[in-house]
Amino acid sequence: METVKVLFQCPTKIFQGRGISGQVGKIVKQEVAAKKILVLIDPAIKETDRFGEMVDSFNLVGIQFSVFDNIIPDAPSSNVEKNVDLVKGQDLGAIVAIGGGSTIDTAKGLRLLANLGHTVKHFLGVGTVKTRLDPPIFSVPTTAGTGSEVSTAAAFKDEAENRKFAVIDWPMIPDYCLADPLLTVGKPPSLTAITGIDTLAHLIESYVSRKANLMSDAINLKCIGLVGRYLERAFCNGDDLEARENMQFASVMSAVAFNHTQVGLDHSIAMPLSSAIGTPHGVSIGLMLPYVMEFNRPAVPKKFKEIARAFGYNVETMAEREAGEKAIEFVRGLCTVLCLPSRLGEFGVTKETLPNFIDGTLASMHTQTNPRKVTPENLLALFEKTL
């Protein structure tokens, strides 16, 4: 008998509000009655007053906790594998992950291996986990970009091969999320730029994905508009709480949507590109996003018109092509405001080295959900435009 497919689900229970992170102890206690937990935290957050409030909240409800702060950018799989005993056999009631994508993905990796063994890379790909994982993860995001706080995906770096890979399956998703915009206030403009443009790429690629549906479309269009309105404000003023709150909401909801749709070519390119040129993920995403939008627009012109509408353009009298070009123009202008690079040539990439990126991009699972078919020939032509 054919399996009936689920249209939409969001297994993560989300708590949202200014200062909600200060109630993390109370929430962990009420939700899972944990007595002993592991806290993973970005070392930059560990010394802040906000973390002090979280520590107080654990102590207030009598939760015993240990802290792991050896969080390495890009979540190297080796760091997960050598620290799995922090979770395995510890009888933990929960893992609390406080930080950005690297922190939360490290927590996902530790729980995965504590339950199922093997190496992280053993689970590379989609649908490779299949079984429920314990203990529950409470994500407390401190950036607005990766969406890892509610995502089925976890990205890791294979240091030996100098490349990133992903494990994607529903059991990887955090069980709870505490979205506190106060934790994102004051982040430097450069971090705001690369995480915010990653959120926008998630939303646009999910919206035009081959697997998009009515529910993901509704989320994505609403949040594309929020990013268009608030990312520049958050970049220019790190203390703009309204902008920070809306960007965090857009980040969380982008992952709720792309859990069902996956993303697309921009993310297919970003993984091998970031490894090759040594840039953060968001830099590669922002550099390539306008070019990928140009590439995809002819395949889904109606959707690009709606993206332009979400950015605030009056598209009623515009042809689809004109409206789509307005959407691309908006994103290109936003990337300029965010001081993101616009040319691969800035990183020493030449026409002769472009073929090095072809195989890694085509091998990515995200290429399969891109709205326009990707071939070695049209991909090379796309790359040539970036020089």
Q: Render pLDDT for 48-102 as a digit per residue (tens, 0 to 9).
A: 999 999 999 999 999 999 999 999 999 999 999 999 999 999 999 999 999 999 9
Instruction: State how far the Cα of 39 lies from the Cα of 86, in Å rounded to an integer.
Output: 10
∠ CA 323-324-326, rounded to 5°: 65
Q: Which residues pair with 146 in a beta bridge?
A: none
pLDDT attached to residue 24: 98
pLDDT in tens, 223-239: 999 999 999 999 999 99
pLDDT at residue 41 in the model: 97
Please state which of the ranges 107-111, 249-253, 258-262, 277-281 shows the lowest mean pLDDT. 277-281
What's the pLDDT at 8? 87
CB 119 within 8 A of CB 79: no
* In 91-179, alpha helices (H): 101-116
CA 235, CA 243: separation in Å to the nearest integer?
9
The domain limits of the chain are 13-183, 189-384
The average pLDDT across 243-263 equals 97
pLDDT band at 1 (very low <50, low <70, confident <90, very high): low
Give phi and psi for 150, each to the nearest 5.
Answer: -135, 20
Q: Identify the residue whose tokens are 């609390």.
A: 96
Mean pLDDT in residue range 248-256: 97
Q: How far apart are CA 59 and CA 260, in angstroms?
A: 38
Which residue, among 170, 196, 375, 358, has the nearest Cα to 276 in the 3D structure? 358
104-117 pLDDT, tens digit each: 999 999 999 999 99
Measured distance between the N- and C-terminal CA atoms of the chain, rounded to whole angstroms: 52
Structure-derived torsion over alpha carbons of residues 145, 104, 51, 244, reported in degrees to the nearest 10: 10
| Domain 189-384 CATH superfamily | Dehydroquinate synthase-like - alpha domain (1.20.1090.10)
Span 196-215, average pLDDT = 97
Share of the chain above pLDDT 70, in %: 100
Q: What is the pTM of this model?
A: 0.95
Nearest residue to 254 (alpha-carbon basis) of 306, 288, 212: 212
CA dist., res. 67 & res. 65, Å (int): 7
* CATH level 3 topology of 13-183: Rossmann fold (3.40.50)
Q: 4 pLDDT band (50/70/90 cuts)?
A: confident
- Give the pLDDT band of residue 297 (cuts 50, 70, 90): very high
- Which structure tokens are listed for 1? 């008998």
Contact between 100 and 143 (Cβ < 8 Å): yes
Q: What is the mean pLDDT of residues 14-41?
A: 97
Note the pLDDT of residue 57.
98
Q: What is the pLDDT of residue 6?
A: 76
pLDDT digits (tens, 9 = 90+) for 150-190: 999 999 999 998 888 999 999 999 999 999 999 999 999 99
